[in-house]
Amino acid sequence: MILEMKSGFHVVSFTYDGDSVGDGFWEFSRLSPKWLEFGRQHLLQYGMTFDTQLDRNLSHVRVKLTSSSGAGIMTIFVAGKVLKSYLLLGGSNDHADAEMAVMFVESLRKSKPVIEAAASQKPFDRVLHTSERPVLVTTIWPSDTPKSDYDLASEIGLYIAAVFFAECSATANN
């Protein structure tokens, strides 16, 4: 199913002050089948909008996804702390993508860390002008959390996004 859509998805990363720190492209063929299955099972069980604590070895991780029409906002918490925020734009509905992007950026701009750290008058403005689809926009939040927890949050976000994009593409093609 995943290979029925584009060969992968774009990723654009930001720090919490709104500065873009990199972008790239993730090929589906480079992703772990085990972790893709993890993401697939999670979306099958909870749907495209959820707020869940993961189980077993990942019980300290909470994932919240709100989505509509192939666009979504996801937050990953580890040990109760927000570590990563994501914007997922699938490209199947331009209006939904634009609305979700504006909601994401406005939410970030109103947060205390962004207000205190932003050097720009319009932090995260690049998000509103990113035309690549599908695209995963990532934001890292400040915390005294170990790097291993940030890495875990990044991996979970990447794989849930990959499956989200595949599911949205499959739905749009039906």
Q: Hey, is 119 helix, strand or coil?
A: coil
Residue holding tokens 């990532």?
138
Question: Are the C-beta atoms of 44 and 163 separated by less than 8 Å?
Answer: no
pLDDT reading at 10 higher than 70: yes
Residue 1, pLDDT score: 35
Maximum alpha-carbon separation in the chain: 46
pLDDT reading at 4 higher than 50: no
The string of pLDDT tens digits covering residues 97-123 is: 999 999 999 999 999 999 999 989 999
- Alpha carbon 116 to chain centroid distance? 23
Strands 81-89 and 20-27: unpaired
How confident is the model over 46-57, as a mean pLDDT? 96
- Where do the domains of the chain lie? 10-173
pLDDT reading at 172 higher than 50: yes
The string of pLDDT tens digits covering residues 138-166 is: 999 999 999 999 999 999 999 999 999 99
pLDDT reading at 2 higher than 50: no
Closest alpha carbon to 88 in 20, 11, 27, 30 = 11
